Chains A and B, each alone.
Chain A
Amino acid sequence: MAKSSDALKASLKNTALNALHKQLGARMVSFAGYQMPVQYKTGIINEHNHVRQYAGLFDVSHMGQAMIRGDNPALAFERLVSNNITDLGQDRLRYSLLMNESGGILDDLIITRRSTSSGREEINIVVNANRKDDNFKYIEESLHGLATLEPADDLALIALQGPKSAAVLMRFDPTVTNLIFMSSSEIQINGINCFVSRSGYTGEDGFEISLPSSEVENLTLRLLEEPEVELVGLGARDSLRLEAGLCLYGHDIDINTSPIEAELGWAVDKKRCELNSFPGAKLIFKQITDGVNRRRVGLLPDGPIPLREGTLIIDKVGKEIGYVTSGGYSPTLKRPIAMGYLAVNHSNLGSNIWAYLRGNKLRLTVVSLPFVKHQYYRGT
């Protein structure tokens, strides 16, 4: 349980809510170069359950927000990612993958197509915190002047997640009810201009709210006045996304995993693969056609012991057939859950496999993802 040294702490970046987190009793940890709240006073399990039942408010301002602008920014940017952007509707969001030439994943990101008040179109992207510096540089270079990327360093990002999120936001602007999952709108919350999308990383209905950093503390305090809303840290964010079967970059996916192996084929446009329209597309097309040797699966350990990233998975004769990429305790199911990669011939639901942990064999069951059903709002 080593603590970070003062020198390391001093080099960490802060979000605009840093002082408020500390004031409200957060335990701060180093994450992706930022000092971030891992939990507040009530602890991860309570915070997790609060999101599943009411509405949890997360500071995710460490994530990388940027605007891509130009004559046709969708067309220019599309050449770097796995799916279509040019057919994305106005104010719609899409989950996408930034790809490299060997068919690996440089990052996963959310792309939003917006029109500004001047009528010009722009593309908003949100990338992972620990990847943003490299990604932004790579994207800017790879746009070859057809469009420009401007990091939005002055914007904060908070997420309101849970079944009561919509009811809370509707008190500020009733038009929120018109938003469906993966759509967005510019609305005023408590007099502050916000860019609000109906999306998130918990599997629940919810919203991500992008706004000027200078306003985020005011809005956070205002939202916390609503009886359903509690602050939630990164610890519960991780257990929530694991229950929802969502990938964490650098763990479940990285430059050495392909979208097909990761079961993210739904974020890959097959036609664009065939036409070799993005980096690594030809290799991905071959994988779609010929299949892959391993795939990402859900894993349910027998018994109470949580499995952690890196735990080996073996078959009945002790041969290594895969490994855990994310694992922990599920507060909703009250048992351990995990995700990992398995050789395809062992990856059928109900396969007989074991985790090799601290010298013991623990029985595992392959299950389909997610562990907890998604509750996205897709309209009535």
Chain B
Amino acid sequence: MNDRKYTKDHEWIELQGDTGVVGITDYAQEQLGDVVFVELPDVGQNLTKSNELGVVESVKAAAEIYAPASGKVLETNRELATNPSLVNESADGDGWFIKMHITDKDELNDLMDEVAYSAYTLGLE
């Protein structure tokens, strides 16, 4: 059990103080297949919860990624520019997308915890 929160669109966010680390779930990377490009926002950009954060391109399709919370982008994962397959190899870890400052932590309240997210993905099978 971790303290990550999950969206219905298959993003995860992990709070470290006021900073949230954001990525997509292992379920999402498996559905997408081989990732060949990740488009990320610029550092300093302000994101609004549920608005587009970036795009993941797999061999067969493009998928939009949405911000799980509002706030300013502090850092993006530069490794993904040269090695997008990190998302497949380690969606939960080294394949993270961005770190962001969370404006309002209460915005995370309606997200799922790990148990709820697992149940949610099982329901999609």
Chain A residues at the B interface, C-beta cutoff of 8 Å: 1, 3, 27, 38-39, 43-45, 48, 235, 238-239, 304-306, 308, 328-329, 331, 336, 358
B63 at the interface (CB under 8 A from A): yes
Name which residue of chain A comes closest to B124, CB basis: A3
Residues on B with beta carbons closer than 8 Å to the beta carbon of A3: 124-125
Cβ of A48 to closest chain B Cβ, rounded Å:
8
Asked if B34 and A305 sit within 8 Å, CB to CB, the answer is no
Cβ of A10 to closest chain B Cβ, rounded Å:
15
A-B contact pairs, 18 of them (CB 8 A): A1-B9, A1-B31, A3-B124, A3-B125, A44-B58, A235-B60, A238-B60, A239-B60, A304-B36, A305-B37, A305-B57, A306-B62, A308-B61, A308-B62, A328-B60, A329-B36, A329-B37, A336-B36
Asked if A1 and B57 sit within 8 Å, CB to CB, the answer is no
Q: A1-B28, A358-B55 are in contact. Are A304 and B60 (CB under 8 A)?
A: no
Asked if A44 and B39 sit within 8 Å, CB to CB, the answer is no
Contact flags B60-84 to A (C-beta < 8 A → 1, else 0): 1111000000000000000000001
Asked if B33 and A39 sit within 8 Å, CB to CB, the answer is yes
Residues on A with beta carbons closer than 8 Å to the beta carbon of B39: 305, 358
Name which residue of chain B comes closest to A331, CB basis: B59
Contact partner of A45 (CB less than 8 A), chosen from B32, B34, B61, is: B34
Asked if B62 and A44 sit within 8 Å, CB to CB, the answer is no
Bound Cα distance A70, B33 (Å):
48
B4 at the interface (CB under 8 A from A): no
Asked if B59 and A328 sit within 8 Å, CB to CB, the answer is yes
Q: A329-B59, A358-B55 are in contact. Are A306 and B33 (CB under 8 A)?
A: no
Cβ of B76 to closest chain A Cβ, rounded Å:
15
Cβ of B17 to closest chain A Cβ, rounded Å:
31
Bound Cα distance A304, B57 (Å):
10
Cβ of B15 to closest chain A Cβ, rounded Å:
25
Residues on A with beta carbons closer than 8 Å to the beta carbon of B10: 1
Cβ of A43 to closest chain B Cβ, rounded Å:
5
Bound Cα distance A329, B35 (Å):
10
Asked if A329 and B57 sit within 8 Å, CB to CB, the answer is yes
Asked if A38 and B60 sit within 8 Å, CB to CB, the answer is yes
Bound Cα distance A238, B33 (Å):
14
Bound Cα distance A235, B28 (Å):
17
Query: What 8 pairs across the A-B complex have the smallest Cβ distances?
Result: A329-B36, A44-B59, A45-B34, A3-B124, A329-B59, A304-B37, A306-B57, A43-B34
